[in-house]
Amino acid sequence: MSKVEMTVNGRTVSAEVEDRTLLVNFLRENLNLTGTHVGCDTSQCGACVVHVDGKAVKSCTMLAAQASGSEITTIEGLAAGGELHPVQAAFREHHGLQCGFCTPGMIMAATDMINRYGGKLDEKTVRAELDGNICRCTGYHNIVKAILAAAEEMSGSAKVAAE
Amino acid sequence: MGIEGIGARVARKEDKRFITGKGRYTDDMSVPGMKHAAFVRSPHAHAVIKGIDTSEAKKMPGVIGVLAGAEMKTDGIGSLICGWMIHSKDGSPMNMGDWRPLAETKVRYVGDAVAIVVADTKAQARDAAEAVKVDYEVLPAVTSAVDALKPGAPQIHDNAPGNQIYDWEIGDLDAVDKAIASAAHVTTLDIVNNRLVPNAMEPRAALGVYDEAEDHYTCWTTSQNPHVARLVMSAFYNVAPENKLRVIAPDVGGGFGSKIYIYPEEITCLWASKKTGVPVKWVADRTESFLTDAHGRDHVTTIKMAFDADNKITALKADTIANLGAYMSLFSSVVPTYLHAILYSGQYVIPAIHCNMRTAYTNTVPVDAYRGAGRPETTYALERVVETAARELGVSPAELRRKNFIREWPYQTPVILQYDSGDYEASLDAAMKAADYDGFPERKAEAESRGKKRGIGMSCYIEACGIAPSQAIGSLGAGVGLWESAEIRVNAVGTVEILTGSHSHGQGHETTFAQLVSDRFGVPIDSVSVVHGDTDKVQMGMGTYGSRSGPVGMSAVVKALDKVEKKAKMIAAHLLEADESDIVIENGQVKVAGTDKALGWHEVALNAYTAHNLPADMEPGLKETAFFDPANFSFPAGCHICEVEVDPDTGKVEIVQFVASDDFGNIINPMIVEGQVHGGLAQGIGQALLENASYDPETGQLLTASYMDYTMPRADDLPSYHVSNTVTPSPLNPLGIKGCGEAGAIGSPPALINAITDAIGNNNLNMPATPQRVWAAINAA
């Protein structure tokens, strides 16, 4: 058994878990944060993407013990103060989701992507960057649109904040 | 239309929970005392079970129970069935082999379930499943349907000699053979329609809860049709009578057909819950999904198309062998027959058509309906043979199609179907314009200057949606009716609940169904709730597949709304002392036309429930139910044009343009319809370029059983699409809807392969057109 302690969506949590417990299982089963999904078990589909210390990580690929001491943000913690995050809002506005199962991972990966590129994204880059996230419903067309729109919105507001 | 009514591009009501991580999928459900299941599965494609030893497994940590098939049989749990009877051309019924939820004597594919282990945690259940010892006597296996039908092939089911399930035909063989014999030109093509795995992103799952005090079962499951699941589990599998079984399909993460069927796992979880006395949850991992979700396609076809001297089609003949896997899944028998063969007229006037269909058992996962179900297979064969014929005849593929288009509706084909309405030339013209078809030679020349081979291909498809009417499909062998139900409950404050037997697993019903109410009564969609997916809440329904939620499910809603509207108008007429015929409902107001006399919608609703002042003899309340059984299928159609560039050095195909012009009849929410097309196109392009369920022919092992082996289309494999619509409303339902769910997956594969073969100048190319295959075809040309 391992003792793990981490900050999840701003709240400090700790537990004794089996050594083999994956971060995704810890989030889903111990913390009941079921927005993070398991879609493939082989780190291919990205339904389980969360942010670990500010970076997108496939939580099915990381042991809970490895994440001990980290700061985790899940899809449940992305919206601040009841306001949707711009990426969440863009996915709704541009119909970037259908069944919703891949959506939390897509949104977490997209947020990380926009942050890394400082909002400077084009369609080709977005498509290449989405290589680790599989969607079976949308054909990606509207996901790409949503991410580009969110990137523009976020870089626009970043500029305003900088000024 | 109002701003939230029919035709409005409204953002989805259901999105908020999905984008904030608050969706509720089966694996998110938890009940007190819940334990976890793992299945013991056959590692062999074909073997006799000589013994099952569960003693070690039962001693493992956390294990509550290990149960095998013999016990299940003793408890009277029934075998899985196929719900559509097909008779061979000699009149004999199809050979349905016995499919036990847990195999007792023989396993017939890798993944066949043998036992269930229930333990405190999922990990413990898996550990213990590995400790179950099954003594197998391994038999030779066969994975291809063509091989399975050859003499001497391994015999899979005792009651299916030579592994044949049925040998069925439709159409006039004599007329077709005569037309071919006297034709000016005959084009023949051998086609393989590659086997696919549906791959809904949410793996299948089930949570079975037995309540001993009430002798009642609840099953949460990943189903496209929870009512059918309850019906089948009650009537055929003897799990429990319907009134003692509640099936709930909460948020479901995609289906594409694979979640229509009732699988061994949900039956076994319910039974195991009673046996062990604890709620039992099972969630498939991805490899388990590959090994047990019904696969799709897997046809081998020879198709012939005959022409007269004027290039008019005179006959079509298709001869197909279809692989149905190790057992007959719920609707497997109808996919190659009444969802496939009777579509062979396509968009064309073809005086004589004949299709022969042989289906076979193999040692592979059962095959059933996957997005399009039979219709993509027809369209692929038909649209490739038309394009090939155009090349052989030296005429434009567009003009050859145009010359043969059906131009009058309703149109009776020689193979049962009567098309409702259409304008195929309008779709073709719109697609050619959007694709700048005429400008292609210039683009080809430019690509050549860069060392790239550029090609263009099209397909003009027809689909059949909303399978109906119940009486007719019953006469063709269906075990169910295919109507839909709806109930409209207007609450006392004027808010509205729609209860529907349709089930949304991505299609956006919570929005589009609400738009119907908004359109009718002028209430905002936020005041309308859609209730679905729970057999305790909705009395009966047939679920969602084959684009039936629009033409059938929404039509039931419209019928119920008609009744509500009539009663509301009667109440308003009474209160406003006006004639019922003068009452109109506009923008949430119930008015006397041409006057300022009006009541708010909510006032009429309140009056219905206070019942203080209703017309004489009127019952209180404002709630109505309707069932809708359409008079016929609806027939969406369209034209897809694809343009590709091929790198001759590597064989890599790049889609430079994809245009879809579709006629879905009237559209409720264009944003959602476009999304359906995008998703369908991605699956069709996936089939054409990337996806293939590949078996080792000797051992019967599925070689592509994870996302590291099976090539799912990813964002950088796909283009952005140009989609548009032409509209000919269906006369068969009150909304004029035709359906849009499968079109993308039906139309795109032949358009893409026609484009690639055009580019490389070699028509001998099978799907998926991987770089290796394309490179080989270029170099063989």
End of a domain among B248, B268, B292?
Answer: B292
Same domain, A98 and A70: no
Q: Are residues A7 and A64 in the same domain?
A: yes
Q: Is the domain of B119 the same as that of B81?
A: yes
Question: A135: which chain B residues are within 8 Å (Cβ-Cβ)?
Answer: 201, 715
The pLDDT tens digits for B120-141 are: 999 999 999 999 999 999 999 9
Average pLDDT of every residue of chain B? 97
* A 88-147: CB under 8 A from B: 88, 91-93, 95, 97-104, 107, 123-124, 126-128, 130-131, 133-144
Say how far apart CA A32 and CA B29 lie, in whole Å. 10
Q: What is the pLDDT of residues B58-74, one digit of tens each?
A: 999 999 999 999 999 99
| CATH (domain of B394) | 3.30.365.10
- Digit-coded pLDDT (tens) for B611-649: 999 999 999 999 999 999 999 999 999 999 999 999 999
Contact B505 A99 (CB under 8 A): yes
Inter-chain CB proximity A42 and B707 less than 8 Å: yes
Contact B679 A39 (CB under 8 A): no
Same domain? For B600 and B675 the reply is no
Q: Are residues B243 and B328 in the same domain?
A: no
Same-domain status, B698 and B611 = no
Do B319 and B430 lie in a common domain? Answer: yes
- Quick one: A65 and A101 in the same domain? no
**Which range marks the domain in which residue A18 is found?**
2-76
Secondary structure of residue B165 in the 3-state scheme:
strand
| Residue in chain B nearest A77 by alpha carbon | B20
Q: In this structure, is residue A162 part of a structural domain?
A: no
The domain boundary residue, chosen from A31, A51, A76: A76
Residues B623 and B698 in one domain: no
Token pair recorded at residue B35: 């334990």
Over the stretch B101-125, which tens digit does the pLDDT of each residue have? Answer: 999 999 999 999 999 999 999 999 9
B671/A95 touch (CB, cutoff 8 Å), yes or no: yes
Q: Would you say residue A160 has pLDDT above 60?
A: no
User: What is the pLDDT, as a whole number, of residue A158?
Assistant: 52
Q: How many CB pairs under 8 A join A and B?
A: 185
A76, A95, A122 - which closes a domain: A76
Give the model's confidence band at A161: pLDDT under 50 very low, under 70 low, under 90 confident, else very high. very low
User: In B, residues 4-23, which contact A (CB 8 Å cutoff)?
Assistant: 11-12, 14-23
Domain membership flag for residue A14: yes
- The residue of chain A nearest to residue B121, with distances taken between CA atoms, is A29
**A52 secondary structure, DSSP code:** E
Q: How confident is the model at residue A156 (pLDDT cuts 50, 70, 90)?
A: confident
Determine the residue among A26, A40, A42 to mutate to test chain B binding: the one whose Cβ has the most chain B Cβ atoms within 10 Å.
A40
Domain count of chain B? 3
Which A residues 46-65 touch B at CB under 8 Å? 47
On whether both B624 and B636 belong to a single domain, the answer is no
Residue ending a domain, among B292, B326, B351, is: B292
B400 plus B271 within the same structural domain: no
Please name which of B375, B360, B361, B328 lies closest in space to residue B168, comparing C-alpha atoms.
B360
Q: Does residue B62 sit at the A interface (CB-CB below 8 Å)?
A: no
Q: Is residue A163 part of a domain?
A: no
Domain boundary among A24, A54, A76: A76
* Closest by Cα among B281, B283, B251 to B30: B281
On whether both A106 and A58 belong to a single domain, the answer is: no
Q: Residue B211 belongs to what domain range? A: 31-139+204-292
pLDDT band at A163 (very low <50, low <70, confident <90, very high): very low
The model's pTM: 0.97
Mutate to test the interface with A, among B34, B201, B293, B691 (most CBs of A within 10 A): B201
Whether B742 and B680 have beta carbons less than 8 Å apart is answered as yes
Pairing outcome for strands B453-462 and B216-221: unpaired
Q: Which two tokens stand for residue A12?
A: 């400090």
A55 and A6 fall within a common domain = yes
CATH (domain of B73): 3.90.1170.50
Mean pLDDT calculated for residue range B268-284: 98
Of B17, B253, B287, the CB nearest to A101: B253
Q: By three-state DSSP, how is residue B374 classified?
A: coil
User: What CATH number is associated with residue A149?
Assistant: 1.10.150.120
**CB-CB contact of B148 with B360 (8 Å):** yes
pLDDT at A162: 45
Q: Same domain for B252 and B134? A: yes
Same domain, B311 and B279: no
Q: Does the structure show a pLDDT above 70 at B2?
A: no
Classify residue B774: in a domain, yes or no. Answer: yes
Which tokens belong to B63? Answer: 């294990």
Average pLDDT over every residue of B711-717: 97
- The arithmetic mean of pLDDT across residues A19-32, rounded, is 97
Distance from CA of A149 to the nearest CA of B (A): 15
| CATH number of the domain where residue A35 is located | 3.10.20.30
Domain boundary among B628, B643, B666: B628
Q: State how far the Cα of B318 lies from the Cα of B320, in Å rounded to an integer.
A: 6
A31 and A60 co-located in one domain: yes
Residues of B in contact with A150 (CB under 8 A): none
Distances (CA, A) of B320 to B24, B54, B375, B563, B765: 42, 44, 14, 48, 18
The answer to whether position A161 is within a domain reads no
Are residue A93 and residue A29 in the same domain, yes or no?
Answer: no
> Is the domain of B512 the same as that of B443?
no
Please indicate, yes or no, if residue B601 is contained in any of the structural domains.
Answer: yes
Nearest CA in chain A to B744: A139
Question: Same structural domain for residues A95 and A151?
Answer: yes
Does A130 lie in the same domain as A96?
Answer: yes
Cβ contact B96:B347 at 8 Å: no
The answer on pLDDT for B213 being more than 90 is: yes
- Residue A84: count of CB within 10 angstroms of its CB: 18
Domain presence at residue A160: no
Looking at the complex, report in whole angstroms how far the Cα of residue A161 sits from the nearest Cα belonging to chain B: 25
A61 and A91 share one domain: no
Task: Round to the nearest angstrom and report the end-to-end CA distance of chain A.
Answer: 51
Task: Report the domain count for chain A.
Answer: 2
